[in-house]
Structure 1
């Protein structure tokens, strides 16, 4: 038996009582209204058998039956991101979003339960449950979302993930930045740390956006790698310095950081990813998910690009540059000369028409890597000819999986 796909927990409604006719006799209930595309109901189709005639004899000739709702089967390969061959276009009914995938529903409620505790003198510190944004520049369409996890919603904790989207410059010289961060677990003020590091990296990128956009268009990967590494170190250094000033342990007041740079020039197809810490970077190409997250466990010369290809061996000019823990001079913002606690990650990838890039925090990366059905579902939802709207993107990214209840922040880019 294939695993059941959840479609939400709708409550069956109760219809009104049957009205009485002019003689006081209850009238038979009227049939439910039909959708324009629905076949006739059984009550309207099936004749009443005459005395001595069986119901089977009175039944009309079989006609077209109503199609069963589709379900997502679990592919055989264990690796969720390398599963199965290319699938055919999904049926129209598959456009209906689902609430969860898997054999059992998640433990927590699907909707927010408790609000985080508020302080009257610190209302600016409140974090909304969900943030949603989007844009279209050059050859790409961007969708971005950050939403509180099921566990935090139930416990009334603030969202530890932060999301920032910004455009620097105008016209074809513009540069779009998507930054996301996750504060340390079980740390007071973790949501503030995530928000601050997003703001500081955005300030640094904004001040240098002209040079960065020029380097991206000219494919100066070495300059990009070293420059973005320096900006990232300074932003994280400011976070540590701020913790020391507030009397907070700098080891706890920290955050992961993941960024995506998109030039507005439609002739430039280079997409630049950089950051520090866990999360995910995926690409949907030719109907298959590819995990293109730079591997920390590999050296720069042996780093894996996609599924085993080295940076110089990727196809179609998709040459990748990576940097793992390469030292840089101490930043003036650093309170001490300690080495980085997390390696710097960098990748510059040339997009092709039809590609979809997905950058996300660990709250979505982990179920994508661990749950085959979620990969199959998003692949079908996002393989259409047009990018989803904001509401559809939100519905897709909040499809739940039992056992994964962290905050989810994601940015997807559809290439025209």
Structure 2
């Protein structure tokens, strides 16, 4: 029955069998060629591009006649590669020959029964209209060996490079020079191999060109720096231990452990340093020494000032007093540097001594006034002050020292140290009248009465005695070429006078050769001596 409930007839479903019958002409395999090549040619003809002629196909050989190839993938039949003769041992290795791809040779890969491609050839890759397609080698072929990039195997073969910088390890090609009578064959080939590869005899002398360019040592040997000299190592550590206490509201008052400076003007080279002593480093106290280096003016009219000061011992504001003393003398010298430079060049010794004496007293007077403002005694807020003036004029070799207080001024000349600190005559006053100071009778015969110890009130006409001041020191000396002038505070002057080994060490370091650098000068000035642990501040001038 049908879906409507009617009884089926005998020929009702004939159209179904006719549609899917094997003998029907409109289905199944077509009579015309319907391969991938034919479809590709049809597409090319549709777009209007003329296909390239197909390469002739080689005659297929039975699979049994084709010997296996180690580089072939299983299931592919292609003619074997021809045997190549081995390369000669004296020839460089040849670049492997690049064989054409499978589709360029016209080989036809085998197809599996279920691939649906039948016996059709490769999908028309060799007939592509673009000749640039299909240039990669076959998957089973070995990739071509790239050309060598290093120097040639034979050193006699010159290396030729394109214009531009020469690669590392090569030298540009230099044609050998020949005379008119020399034949080209007689010229020796130029080796372009790296210099490190050329064998050099051990006993062969260097060529004359290298012998003439052999560097010579212009600086004589100097002994190495040492940590300490004397009978034994110092008690304190060589490096800083504790930092001084800091006030958050007075951070400008902090003092660095070490100050290092230097310059070169005219014929003189300056090195200056100020280092905290071992004792202050251990106790965490600030450096009591202060250092100031300044240049006033320009050109040959310039004047260089080196000022160093040391605050009073065991006072809380010693480092502040030392810094203030350097600042005051720096301002005074800076305002008068033109006149001072003229007096130095003219060698006006009297004018220099009196003028610098007034500037020094004025600067130290500022310290006494500052102590009165702070409500402390002048002895607690004072400092020793030592200065050095260096003119920048190369024609002037006069060096002027002035100052007040302890320290040292030395000169290293001809390998020997000279202590040229100015000597101040001892001021001896008259004898003090008192008990036992005079005889019982005068030359006239008058007898003296006994001192009953009755005090008398002071006279209103007598001036209040000021505290004794340190004498002013001044020296103007003319430097010679090769001299070394050293100005220092008591922290370095005392061990230099008391320990001969320190003087010998500095003599060996500074007597010959160029002036030391900043780091070397710092190492030289902080050579320690047992028993001397104060701050050290020094300024040395080398004369060219």
Structure 2 length as normaliser, TM-score? 0.52
CA shift digits 1:39-82 (9 cap, x unpaired): xxxxxxxxxxxxxxxxxxxxxxxxxxxxxxxxxxxxxxxxxxxx
State the match for 1:236 in structure 2.
364
Is the Cα–Cα contact under 8 Å of residues 220 and 512 in structure 2 kept in the other structure?
A: no
Counterpart-to-counterpart distance in 2, 1:91 and 1:120 = 51
Mapping of residues 35-46 of structure 1, within 5 Å = none
| Map of 1:271 onto structure 2 | 399
Q: Deviations over 1:153-211 (max 9, x none)?
A: 00000000000000000000000000000000001110000000000000000000000
Task: Give yes or no for the alignment of 1:181 onto 2:317.
Answer: no
Give 1:340 shift.
5.4
**Matched position secondary structure for 1:215:** helix
Helix, strand or coil for the counterpart of 1:95?
coil
Within the candidate set 233, 246, 267, 1:118 is matched to 246
Q: Distance in 2 between matches of 1:145 and 1:388?
A: 13
The answer on 1:227 being equivalent to 2:355 is: yes
Give distance in 2, aligned partners of 1:200 and 1:121: 24
> Which residue matches 1:341?
469
Q: Equivalent residue of 2:379, what SS?
A: coil
Match of 1:32 in 2: none
Q: Residue 52 of structure 2 corresponds to which residue in structure 1? A: none
Displacement of 1:383:
1.0
Quick one: distance in 2 between partners of 1:263 and 1:246?
Answer: 38
Residues 322-352 of structure 1, C-alpha deviation per residue, up to 9 Å, x if partnerless?
A: xxxxxxxxxxxxxx88375100000000000
Match of 2:527 in 1: 399
SS in 2 for 1:157: coil
Instruction: Give the stretch that moved more between structures: 247-256 or 130-139.
Output: 247-256
CA–CA distance in structure 2, aligned partners of residues 395 and 248 of structure 1:
38
**Alignment equivalent of 2:267, drawn from 104, 129, 139:** 139
- CA gap of 1:294–1:260, structure 2 versus 1, over 3 A, is same
Bigger radius of gyration, 1 or 2?
Answer: 2
Aligned equivalents of 2:372, 2:356: Cα separation in 1 = 25
SS of equivalent residue, structure 1 residue 283: strand
Matched, 1:170 2:298: yes
Cα distance in structure 2, aligned partners of 1:233 and 1:162: 18
Alignment of 1:379-398 (within 5 A): 379-398=507-526
Secondary structure of 1:117's aligned partner: coil
TM-score (norm 1): 0.68
Q: In 1, Cα distance between the equivalents of 2:466 and 2:233? A: 45
Confirm or deny that 1:363 pairs with 2:491: yes
Look up the match of 2:431.
Answer: none
- The equivalent of 1:415 in structure 2 is 543
Q: In the alignment, what sits opposite 2:506? A: 378
Please list the CA deviations of residues 225-260 of structure 1 after superposition, one character each: whole Å capped at 9, or x if unmatched. Answer: 000000000000000001101111112110000000
Residue from 307, 329, 340 that aligns with 1:201: 329
Q: Distance in 2 between matches of 1:393 and 1:135?
A: 13
Quote the Cα distance in structure 1 between the aligned partners of 2:396 and 2:220. Answer: 35
Aligned match for 1:103, one of 213, 218, 231: 231
Partners of 2:242 and 2:270 lie apart in 1 by 31
Q: Tell me how far 1:104 sits from its aligned partner.
A: 0.5
RMSD: 1.6
Give the ranges of 4+ consecutive aligned residues of structure 1 lying more than 2 Å apart after TM superposition: 296-299, 336-340
Quote the Cα distance in structure 2 between the aligned partners of 1:228 and 1:217: 15
**In 2, Cα distance between the equivalents of 1:234 and 1:223?**
17
Structure 2, unaligned stretches of length 5 or more?
1-218, 428-463
Q: Which residue of 2 aligns with 1:24?
A: none
How many residues are paired up?
Answer: 291
Aligned to 2:277: 149
**Contact kept in structure 1, 2:411 and 2:486, CA below 8 Å:** yes
